[in-house]
């Protein structure tokens, strides 16, 4: 099938490359000329495991092409996926200007009576498809345009997006006609997974509801973690005990420094805004957001108490990406942590396997407070504390026994609970974790 994609960001690029991999013919609109050139040469503009290999293969096959000429893509395509940004406005609502601009462009270049299915893959509030249908009607200006709007939310996790796309838990398709349902269904014909055909409104809510529920699980276990620290319990075992309950499940019950990234924070705000706009009580989501916003502050408070103040203390930040296996630093917990540490007068050193340059670009106001290091060992040397912020395997595999001698004080705050506590204590570290009474464990060993 001839398919077009607007936007070559995380969602658009993964979607386009994976659809090309299963045999569709893709043309992708991207306004950034430098990106277009790189992508047509098989150079991925984002880090995602497995993506570069698929991109190179499908470029060589002729299954995918990138351009900034939207008219040619519109003419080429039977189905057009919209994968452009929907960033939050100051009030928390989703900014749909890029989506609307893309639809206007499609309406401008579409031929009369030529049926095209416009599929919104970007995360948008409920009612967006209806608004876009009205926009198309306003753009007709006497022409007979045969454009239909559908909803097909993505459920990709950064760091495993290619695998998630090729092996989905489910595919949700919201359409208003049998023709659109059949056409969109044929795009995913080869996928063996549950396929939910529904209205666009239901499809739009499914995406927001899913992300909001997962974020709620994270904030819930972080709330429990705080209690565990106060009473001497172990949140990892609490989560394990909860997770065996089939009604709850073990996923997203890992206590830590809180969620970040491009999805959860903005999706919760947008869902909250929609609920409030309908006069509904969405206070649960307000508290989920509030708990998450306090996570970095709690880490700083614990570190400050342990070091007897932070002014002039050297603190190493291990990890700038919001999670491992990605170079994405949007809404990164590390950024919040660095800002709070700087306010306390700490001397901040930071490292990340992939994200240093992205962090510099995203947070220029914080760069003056940070010394960046390519290697974790160099970042930790001379520090009074090392804080593991991102769950990179590289940090778990560090030679912590050897690193200890290079530190001014052997304090490690593991905000991801990824290191082995017994090993850290055996190596005479002062080991802090989330939801664990490590001070109690240290006292029991002495």
72-98 mean pLDDT: 93
Contacts (Cβ under 8 Å, ≥6 apart) of 423: 400
HSE of 370, CA atoms in CB hemisphere, 13 A: 29
Give the model confidence (pLDDT) of 158-196 as tens digits. 989 999 999 999 999 999 999 999 999 999 999 999 999
Phi, psi dihedrals of residue 394, rounded to the nearest 5°: -55, -35
131-159 mean pLDDT: 91
268-288 mean pLDDT: 95
At residue 442, the pLDDT reads: 44
Q: In what order do the strands lie in the sheet with 411-414?
A: 370-373, 347-351, 314-318, 385-388, 411-414, 430-433
Tokens for 257, please give them. 């420094």
Look up 263 and say whether it is catalytic. yes
- Average pLDDT taken over every residue of the chain: 94
At residue 441, the pLDDT reads: 36
Residues 346, 339: Cα–Cα separation, whole Å: 10
At residue 445, the pLDDT reads: 39
351 and 427 fall within a common domain: yes
Residues 374, 355: Cα–Cα separation, whole Å: 10
- Domain boundary (198, 221, 237) is at 198
pLDDT band per the 50, 70, 90 thresholds, residue 311:
very high
Give the global pTM. Answer: 0.91
201-208 mean pLDDT: 96
178 and 36 fall within a common domain: yes
193 and 69 fall within a common domain: yes
For residue 239, the enclosing domain spans 207-292
172 and 217 fall within a common domain: no
Q: What are the distances in angstroms from CA 279 to CA 214, 282, 285?
A: 24, 9, 15
Domain count, the chain: 3
Q: What are the distances in angstroms from CA 168 to CA 25, 53, 192, 193, 294?
A: 21, 20, 9, 7, 33
329 and 354 fall within a common domain: yes
357-383 mean pLDDT: 95
Of 18, 83, 228, 263, the active-site residue reads 263
At residue 161, the pLDDT reads: 95
At residue 437, the pLDDT reads: 77
pLDDT at 357 over 70: yes
10 and 156 fall within a common domain: yes
183 and 121 fall within a common domain: yes
Numbers of helices and strands, H then E, in the chain: 21, 14
Angle at CA of residue 362, ends 359 and 363, nearest 5°: 80
DSSP 313: -
More confident: 289 or 446: 289
Closest CA to 240 of 224, 262, 264, 227: 224
């Amino acid at each position: 099938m001839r398919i077009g994609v607007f936007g070559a960001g995380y969602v658009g690029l993964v979607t386009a490359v994976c659809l090309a991999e299963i045999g569709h013919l893709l043309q992708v609109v991207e306004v950034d000329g430098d990106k277009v050139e790189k992508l047509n040469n098989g150079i991925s503009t984002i880090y995602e495991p497995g993506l570069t290999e698929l991109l190179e293969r499908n470029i060589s096959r002729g299954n995918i092409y990138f351009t900034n000429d939207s008219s040619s893509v519109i003419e080429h395509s039977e189905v057009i996926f919209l994968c452009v940004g929907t960033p939050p406005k100051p009030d928390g609502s989703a900014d749909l200007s890029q989506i609307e601009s893309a639809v206007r462009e499609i309406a401008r270049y579409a031929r009369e009576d030529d049926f095209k299915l416009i599929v919104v893959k970007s995360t948008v509030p409920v009612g967006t498809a209806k608004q876009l249908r009205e926009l198309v009607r306003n753009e007709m200006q006497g022409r007979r345009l045969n454009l239909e709007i559908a909803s097909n939310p993505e459920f990709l996790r950064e760091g495993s997006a290619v695998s998630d796309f090729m092996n989905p838990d489910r595919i949700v398709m919201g359409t208003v006609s049998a023709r659109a349902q059949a056409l969109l269904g044929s795009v995913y014909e080869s996928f063996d997974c549950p396929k939910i055909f529904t209205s666009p409104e239901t499809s739009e809510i499914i995406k927001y509801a899913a992300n909001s529920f997962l974020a709620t699980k994270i904030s819930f276990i972080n709330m429990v973690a705080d209690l565990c620290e106060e009473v001497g319990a172990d949140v990892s075992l609490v989560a394990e005990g909860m997770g065996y309950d089939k009604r709850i499940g073990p996923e997203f019950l890992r206590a830590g420094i809180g969620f970040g990234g491009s999805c959860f924070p903005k999706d919760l705000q947008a869902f909250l805004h929609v609920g409030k706009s309908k006069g509904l009580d969405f206070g649960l989501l307000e508290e989920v957001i509030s708990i998450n916003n306090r996570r970095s502050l709690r880490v700083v408070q614990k570190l400050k108490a342990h070091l007897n103040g932070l002014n002039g203390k050297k603190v190493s930040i291990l990890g700038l990406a919001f999670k491992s296996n990605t170079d994405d630093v949007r809404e990164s917990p590390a950024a919040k942590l660095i800002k709070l540490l700087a306010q306390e007068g700490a001397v901040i050193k930071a490292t990340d396997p992939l994200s240093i340059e992205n962090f510099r670009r995203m947070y220029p106001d914080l760069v003056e407070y940070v010394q960046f290091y390519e290697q974790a060992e160099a970042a930790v040397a001379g520090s009074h504390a090392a804080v593991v912020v991102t769950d990179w395997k590289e940090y778990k595999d560090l030679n912590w026994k050897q690193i200890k001698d290079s530190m001014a004080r052997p304090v490690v705050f593991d905000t991801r609970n990824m290191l082995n506590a017994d090993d850290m204590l055996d190596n005479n570290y002062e080991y802090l974790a989330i939801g664990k009474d490590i001070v109690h464990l240290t006292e029991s060993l002495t």
